[in-house]
Amino acid sequence: MVRLIAKLYFGLIGWKTRYNVPPGLKKYVVIAAPHTSNWDFPICMAALSLMHVKVNYLAKKELFRFPLGVIMRFFGGIPVDRSRNTGMVDAMIAEFGKHDQLVLLIPPEGTRGLVKEWKTGFYRVAVGAGVPIVLGYLDYGRKEAGLGKAFYPSGDYEKDLAAIQAFYRPIQAKHPERSSLR
């Protein structure tokens, strides 16, 4: 039923999906960038449903109050208290060890507003769990939602971040003025 609604939604808004995840890849971190609009969530969830990808994702705990919390949890949401350090990176690394299949979606900007630097949690989780980073995107210019290539981190954060961000530079955000990749 969710997939049918997603298909109708994408038909109405004129979007398409692109799926480039290597066959058989069962564990990975998906980064979602640029993240500049509330519209990113419904488009992303519809796209993932159409691509048959079940994800878990982190979001601020305030979004998990009733009634929105029901929707957030249904789509795999995990509430995070951003006001204090809760050891979330270590907890997510441990989760990868407990499951044969796990896809964790993390927006590296951490917010819809303009930030100067990406948060490093997505990278630390991928390196700690020994899983690749799949480059997820919403390109509002082409009306395309996709999962790009799988990126295998080398352990050199600065070098890897430059390569990852180069992938995202041509992608148009809903609000380009809020994108950290200008």
Domain ranges of the chain: 2-178
Which of 113, 105, 90 lies closest to 49, judged by CA?
105
Instruction: Check residue 145 and give its pLDDT.
Output: 97
Cβ–Cβ < 8 Å for 153, 163 = no
Which of 36-40, 110-114, 144-148, 176-180 reaches the highest mean pLDDT? 144-148
- How many C-beta atoms surround the C-beta of residue 155 within 10 A? 8
Over 80: is that where the pLDDT of 58 sits? Answer: no
* Structural tokens at position 85: 């350090």
User: What region does 130 belong to: left with phi over 0, alpha with psi -120 to 50, or beta?
Assistant: left
Distances in Å between the Cα of 157 and the Cα atoms of 29, 85, 107 are 15, 21, 17
Instruction: Check residue 112 and give its pLDDT.
Output: 58
Over 80: is that where the pLDDT of 32 sits? Answer: yes
Q: Which of 3.40.50, 3.20.20, 2.60.40, 3.40.190 would CATH assign to domain 2-178? A: 3.40.50
Q: How remote is the C-alpha of 31 from its chain's centroid? A: 4
Rounded to 5 degrees, what are φ and ψ at 65?
-80, 155
Instruction: Check residue 111 and give its pLDDT.
Output: 60
Instruction: Check residue 78 and give its pLDDT.
Output: 81
Instruction: Among 58-62, 101-105, 162-166, 168-172, name the one with the lowest average pLDDT.
Output: 58-62
Which of 8, 10, 23, 12 lies closest to 138, judged by CA?
10
d(C-alpha 75, C-alpha 72), whole Å: 5
Over 90: is that where the pLDDT of 123 sits? Answer: yes
How far is the first Cα of the chain from the last one, in angstroms, to the nearest whole number? Answer: 38
Strands 133-139 and 144-151: antiparallel
Instruction: Among 52-56, 94-98, 108-112, name the one with the lowest average pLDDT.
Output: 108-112
d(C-alpha 74, C-alpha 152), whole Å: 29
